[in-house]
Structure 1
Amino acid sequence: MRKLAFIFLFAFNLLSAQEEVVHSVYFEFDKFNLDDKQANDVYSFVKNIDTTRIESIQIYGYCDDRGKDAYNYKLSSNRANTIKTKLIEKGIKNKIIVTIEGKGRILIEDDIVENLPEVRQKNRRVDVVMNFKPAPIIPIPGVYNDLKNDMVVGDRICFDKILFEKGRSVLTHKARVELDRIARFLHKYKNIHFEIQGHICCTPTFQKEAIDKDTKKRALSHNRAQAVYKYLIAKRIDKRRMSFKGYGNTQPLGNGSEQDRRVEFLITKM
């Protein structure tokens, strides 16, 4: 028994960006039924595709060039209906199968074709044409210098005005003005949830955290993040939308120590 063969052809329409997959099933001479191995291979094919994206299915049956036209049309139609039955058994909805058609025989010029038996065998087939809905676009997180109303989970916002003096976690006047503006934005877009991330500069690599001059404790990046957190709470931002964490010197920007004495937001929920 010949093995079931799979052919995957991917074509993208420039206007609709629709994906089309052609799956071909090959039959024995003068047969339209499938043995268990062939049926299982059809099931395996369906299992390995995203059936939720299938928009429509067209099924076309074919025969080789031998035999009378009427017989071949009937045989090719039977082959198409065999595959339809197997697809429905596997859970494909009947309503998305929009075409079932026996095309009859495929004519070939046997006097110029090389390897005629192989060509005829490939013509004894059913083509299952699956049209898929465009795949959903998954936004890629990025790094920005301000909040936007269309952010996605994973976006990082590095504010260039929320910077700290060396060794300190006290908010500067400039940082407070910036946080006032941010608070107004967050009141407008209440769907934004985020982690406040504190950072430091100028410590040796073996010492991930620095001492806070104001508290005398080695928790400088933590304290910077917490200072922003407390300020936003004072501005009536719901604390359930926020968390905070110190990252020490583990994420330097590489463009100067001042920029590393910073606080970033990481979007955690939209």
Structure 2
Amino acid sequence: MKTTYIFILFFFNITLSIAQEQISVYFDSNKFDLTLKENRKLQQWILENSNSKILAINGYTDEDGTTGFNDTLAKKRVENIFNLVKGNIKIREDYKSISFGENHKHSANKAENRKVVIYYILEKDLPNENKILGLPEEKIEEKPKPEIEYPEKVVLENPNGTQTVYKLDREFMKKIGNASVGEKLKIENLNFIINTFAVVPESRGKLYELLLVLQSNPQLKIEIQGHLCCMPVDRLDLSTQRAKAVYNFLVSNQIYPARLSYKGFGSSQPLFPLPEKNEEQRAANRRVEILIVSN
């Protein structure tokens, strides 16, 4: 679907408040791509603010060059930053993308005027978003999420020309996609080779279930939690390594890392007390769960 970006070319003065934050990234002269240093700065900010919300993106230039050239350059800078943050951080639907060009210079140092400023609200302040912006409080009726039709199976091509078919649990996938923040779901039948963090071949379909759900729900953020059975002390930190194995699979398949985290709990949160009485209890205790962080 084609998307059109409208850059509003007028002076927009954002009234700052205690609950409103901002970050500036800087550009080389006549450039609209970030330097490596500034790009790393922006990526780190994205990681640290994955649950924040962007209100506005303002672009500026120095006074070198014609006014028309600078207006165009400022637009490109804003558009570049927008493309880097979209899909990774929530953006207010009526947010402002504004290109000031060489207007509104803030410093006698030209380098400090070649910038884009992102205004945003921290996660803790989102419940007061309209109040912070001076907007009337509105009761917004939540629209039901559209029903997603997940595939019944995944077919993988093997190097030797054969195919591997994994049948998918579509009901479980729907449950993850529709889960509420704070809800925790166990990934059933996700098994590992004993004393390792390698997923057994029969369980790889469970990884694709999680991958497809994350691909179909771009606002979904999760924490992957690993648990062990049997032993009171996780000396090898195996629970963390198993959670990390799921994390690495998702990241290697283009799920943005800011949407994911992982943690190992050893056997500190057993469903059945240690020592377990039978294999059924041990199997229940050694598990990987998904905590819904944002949806």
Q: What TM bracket, shorter-length normalisation?
A: 0.3 to 0.5
Given the two structures, how large is their TM-score scaled by the length of structure 1? 0.41
Structure with the greater alpha carbon radius of gyration: 1
